[in-house]
Structure 1
Amino acid sequence: MAVSRRLFVAAATALTATGIPLPAARAAAPDTRSRIPVSPHDTEADLVRTASQVRPTARQIAWQRLERTAFLHFGVNTFTGLEWGTGDEDPEVFQPTGLDTDQWARALSDGGFRLAVLTVKHHDGFVLYPSRYTDHTVASSSWRGGQGDVLRAFADSMRRYGLKVGVYLSPADENQYLHGGYANGSARTARTIPTLVHGDDRTPPRSFTLDATDYGAHMLNTLYEVLTEYGPVDEVWFDGAQGHIPPEKVEAYDWDSWYTLVRALAPDAAIAVTGPDLRWVGNESGLAREDEWSVIPVKENPYGRTDWALAYDTADEGSRAALVTALPHTDYLQWWPAECDVSLRDGWFYHPEQQPKSVEELTEIYFGSVGRNAVLLLNVPPDTAGLLPAADVTRLREFRERVERELPEDLARRAPTRRAPGLVTVDLGREREVDRVRLAEDVRHGQQVEAFVVEAHRDGAWTRVSGSGTIGASRILRLPAPVSARHWRLRVTGARAAVHLAEFGLYRSRL
């Protein structure tokens, strides 16, 4: 994954009641407010006004509420020790004789995760289910007599334990390159999907005519299998990696056709992170920016790929200054929230000599991702037996327990609250110690807060105890030391438009 990221970027004030959970996101027709075009003549005031009008889709709201999601890097690399496979591996090396996807699901659920993404196809092209369109699959291994299907087991187990299902299909494919299908210079022409092959007994209830290259059609057929034969999928994860191939052999990916197929077959699935729904945060440390905007300037690259108007790793993606700086390269202002990926171990695939990160490291990652208006994507790689290592399982449980101790009980949940434009005041009934503050905007009304302070009433006066810039869907503040007060307030000091707060939570950690 670390290698693929480098190639990925190279290829490339009314207030609602506090403490009340937002209603569940409802399926809706496509909302054009999630992406609003800009003019090269827009002023800063024009850009800020447009940004204030951008809204998330229902699928983006549902995804943001997950907070913690898991990645499972598993495939031939697990057995060869590589991070990026070569595409000519002997499928016989894939022998997870103790595969237990229920164990994966139990561990992830116990760790507080709510969705898991499986590497159905990594850059080597090896596929974790018996595909009709390549022999580089589990069916070419003697594992389970050639009848094994990791994707089937994974999807069934995740749903059995209440987790949502995500799939990662790498656009890069070393095996297809070796066999002449990838980067072969073929033209985009109309292709019928699914493309029936010899012995194919399917009677597809739906078929599609989509423009694609030879390899683009291969990906479309693979997506069709995954999205029609394994139940509902909630996230489809692409990166933009190219293969280890000569630079003149770059494959122009058929993003528009891929997105169209995903939308048709899995309309509720968020498309990440080379996709219109979610973006890569720009690093692999699991940390968002101090002020992470969900509304950022974007440009549209060939074949419909959404891309950053500014550099992917710029320190400021969405402030007023960033909107102005990016304008010459901007086509739209878009709701494009950040996903923070990081691996529990140093590598993305399992390596026996590596150990999981400490609880302290994971806690810092949690506050630096979920606590900064992003979603954490933590990779937990299964081992050669097909199990999550015991040390990793223990660490996931310890991580969840630590978060629960950091944020044990919202002292403000049932407290009397007074509201005014740009101000929320909470009466805890008596003096209480607080050292954690959790805030959220009701992002159905956009992301508006640009600056705020949290204050406690002490010694007859309001005293600032913390503050920052953005809030978004989730902002968690850790106070340097516990502060004791009965009355607390949140005061918005800068905003783009009317602010709608969904949460003003006050906590005393139990560490």
Structure 2
Amino acid sequence: MRKIPLILSLALWFCLGVESLSARQVNDASGLRALQQQFIDLKFGMFIHFNIPTFMDDDWADPDASPAIFNPVKLDCNQWAAAAKSAKMRYGCLTTKHHSGFCIWDTKTTDYNVMNSPLKRDVVKEYVEAFRKQGLKTMLYYSILDTHHKLRPGFITKAHIDMVKAQLTELLSNYGEITAIIIDGWDAPWSRISYEDVPFQEIYRLIKRLQPNCLVMDLNAAKYPKDALFYTDIKSYEQNAGQHISKESNQLPALSCLPINKNWFWKEEFPTTPVKDPAVIVKDNLEPFNQAYCTFILNVAPNRDGLIDPNAVEGLKQIGKLWKDDAAVPELPAYDAPITATNIAKHKPANSSWSDDMWIMDFANDDDFTTGWRSNRAVAKPWWEVDLGKCHSFNMITITDLKESMQSYRLLYEADGVWKEICSGNNASKVKVHRFDRIWGNKVRIEIDSTNGQASVTEFGVYDEQR
């Protein structure tokens, strides 16, 4: 791994020292809900994929690409902001670091950054200043996966985690108020970096300490069910990856993203290839999403000069003319607060009553929402339990029941050889979230009293949530 400078130690000292919020404030559900409502009220924004892949033919750049190729000789973030304003957008979001690890701000954590390119200018600084001049909110994109610094499965060290914390500290300390940070390359099937490899709860709480009003948005929708906020403040949907929000049934604060061109980063054919139809953007995306508690973010990729191509600028103007922006966003319905703690039940030994065929107990805590445990139909009162291995403290349990199989159930825990009831439920939702005062136990069990014919558990989670 490339050497990470010693300045990290100073940055990390700052991370640990900024304790302006207590645990209670970090998890203030009413305050978070207000921020989520404000986010969806923004309605429409500009995603800006601009980084070292701009100067290559692939969206995933060579991790050893030289900073010398990053040379946008006409870079003008004011042009980006004016184009966003013409479309009636209300915010922007810039790719500060993509998967190949190149940083486009003046970072002290690595020499693989824009200050060692021919540009030698802090793009993040210029971006936030330009967008704020236009009255637009600013958000940042940041990739956990970092192939240049070998922050990838099998190579992750404490130094990597320290680097992530230090980089986020810079981004959230040096550029004023950041409305949201969009994190990518984390706990995704293609990145394979788990929330234990790079500890989610630590990073989440660091962000909230640095900027209490900054929403944390992890682009993990491909893995987790759409019925709860697993490891994110806002549920995300990447249309190019086949992730589509239900305009009829969504009940969570959400974001849907789509590029105005074919790809996220600029390609040589972009100036001569038509952008997506502005009428389709408005009628099929912007208007219906806003009525489904969802903000729409349209990616517009600057070219190698650092400017948005004329055809994209014109497309944005047409969107601004077509979109009347005269409908209020509805008030968010009731939903559970985000789940941000580590699932201590994941991959622990499990047991159950008689299972149905191959769908044995191990499938209920394998961290895979496409599989699950199923009870044999002959069992009248099925049960499933997990052995935590030692006495653990915990204060939250989630039951993902995507088949909506349970009608009533009870949750119990074992301590000192004695089983005690935690609570009972008849929650019909696909993801059932139970929060309670902290308890200590060796095992956790669900006893299912009535079903729709066959009990099943897609995933079972046990958490020690910091509050």
Q: Same fold (TM over 0.5)?
A: yes
**1:288 to 1:153, Cα distance in 2 relative to 1, 3 A:** same
Say whether 1:175 aligns with 2:148.
yes
State the partner residue of 1:360. Answer: 279
| Cα deviation, residue 131, structure 1 | 1.2
Match 2:334 to one of 432, 446, 452: 446
Backbone CA RMSD of aligned residues: 3.1
Identity %: 23
Quote the residue 1:388 is aligned against: 308
1:83 aligns with 2:59: yes
Q: Distance in 2 between matches of 1:398 and 1:151?
A: 28
**Equivalent pair of 2:144/2:186 in contact (CA under 8 Å):** yes
Equivalent residues of 2:46, 2:298 under 8 A apart? yes
1:87–1:174 CA contact under 8 A, matched in 2 = yes
Matches within 5 A, 1:277-426: 277-281=233-237, 283-284=239-240, 288-294=245-251, 336-354=252-270, 355=273, 356-363=275-282, 364-404=284-324
- Partner in structure 1 of residue 359 of structure 2: none
Change (3 A) 1:375 1:383: same
Equivalent residue for 1:234? 179
Matched, 1:215 2:160: yes
User: SS in structure 2 opposite 1:84?
Assistant: coil
What is the distance in 2 between the residues matched to 1:56 and 1:224? 21
Deviation track 1:73-114 (CA, whole Å, cap 9, x = no partner) reads 001111112111121001100010000001111110111111
> Using a 3 Å threshold, how does the CA distance of structure 1 residues 242 and 374 change in structure 2: closer, same or farther?
closer
Q: CA deviation at 1:352?
A: 2.5
**CA 1:244/1:277 → structure 2, altered by over 3 Å: closer, same or farther?**
closer
CA 1:383–1:57 in structure 2 vs 1: closer, same or farther (change >3 Å)? same
1:460-491 C-alpha deviation (Å, 9 max, x unpaired): xxxxxxxxxxxxxxxxxxxxxxxxxxxxxxxx
Is the contact made by 2:74 and 2:307 (CA closer than 8 Å) also made in structure 1? yes
Q: 1:96 to 1:214 in 2, by over 3 A?
A: same
Partner residue, 1:270: 215
State the shift of 1:243 in Å: 10
Unaligned runs of 5+ in 1: 1-27, 35-54, 188-212, 295-335, 409-437, 448-495, 497-511
Would you say the 8 A contact 1:286–1:342 is kept in 2? no
Distance 1:65 1:96, change over 3 A: same
CA distance in 2, matches of 1:69, 1:249: 29
- Displacement, 1:439? 6.6
Change (3 A) 1:441 1:265: same
Shift of 1:247: 7.0
TM-score, normalised by the number of residues in structure 1? 0.54
Cα distance between partner residues in 2 of 1:115 and 1:70: 6
Following superposition, the deviation at residue 30 of structure 1 comes to: 5.2
1:307 is matched with none
Q: What letter is aligned with 1:342? A: L
1:153 equivalent to 2:130? Answer no
Matched, 1:104 2:80: yes
Higher RCO (CA 8 Å, separation ≥ 6 residues): 1
Q: Deviations over 1:241-290 (max 9, x none)?
A: 57999979998222111111110111111111344311113633785313
Q: Give the 5 Å matches for 1:470-481.
A: none
Matches of 1:380 and 1:164, distance apart in 2:
16
What is the TM-score when the length of structure 2 is the normalising length? 0.58
- Contact 1:79-1:93 within 8 A present in 2 as well: yes
The separation in 2 between residues aligned to 1:246 and 1:440, in whole angstroms, is: 34
Note closer, same or farther for the CA distance 1:247–1:264 as it changes in structure 2 (3 Å cut): closer
Q: Secondary structure of 2:239's match?
A: coil
d(CA) in 2 for partners of 1:247 and 1:442?
36
Return the offset for 1:216: 1.4
Q: Is the 8 A contact 1:75 1:128 kept in 2?
A: yes
Secondary structure of residue in 2 paired with 1:400 = helix
Deviations 1:166-206 (A, max 9, x none): 111101101011xxx5545566xxxxxxxxxxxxxxxxxxx
- Look up the equivalent residue of 2:260 and give its one-letter code: L
- Aligned residue runs from structure 1 range 93-132, under 5 A: 93-132=69-108
Mapped contact 1:287–1:365 kept (Cα < 8 A): no
Q: Cα distance 1:384–1:244, how it changes in 2: closer, same or farther (>3 A)?
A: farther
Q: Is the 8 A contact 2:87 2:319 kept in 1?
A: yes
Deviation per CA, 1:3-35: give whole Å up to 9, x if none.
Answer: xxxxxxxxxxxxxxxxxxxxxxxxx9556557x
Aligned to 1:176, the other structure's residue is in SS state: coil
Q: One-letter code of the match for 1:280?
A: S
Query: Is contact 1:97-1:386 (8 Å) kept?
Result: yes
Asked if 2 retains the 8 angstrom alpha-carbon contact of 1:234 and 1:269, the reply is yes
Q: Give the aligned partner of residue 259 of structure 1.
A: 204
Distance in 2, Cα, partners of 1:233 & 1:248: 25
Instruction: Flag the 1:242–1:122 CA change in 2: closer, same or farther, 3 A.
Output: farther
Q: Work out whether residues 287 and 369 of structure 1, in 8 Å CA contact, stay in contact via their aligned partners in 2.
A: no
2-structure distance, mates of 1:225, 1:246 = 24
Cα pair distance change 1:249/1:161, threshold 3 Å: closer
Q: How many residues align?
A: 298
> Residues 96-149 of structure 1: CA distance to partner in whole angstroms, max 9, x if unpaired?
000000111111011111110100000010010121111111112122xxx311
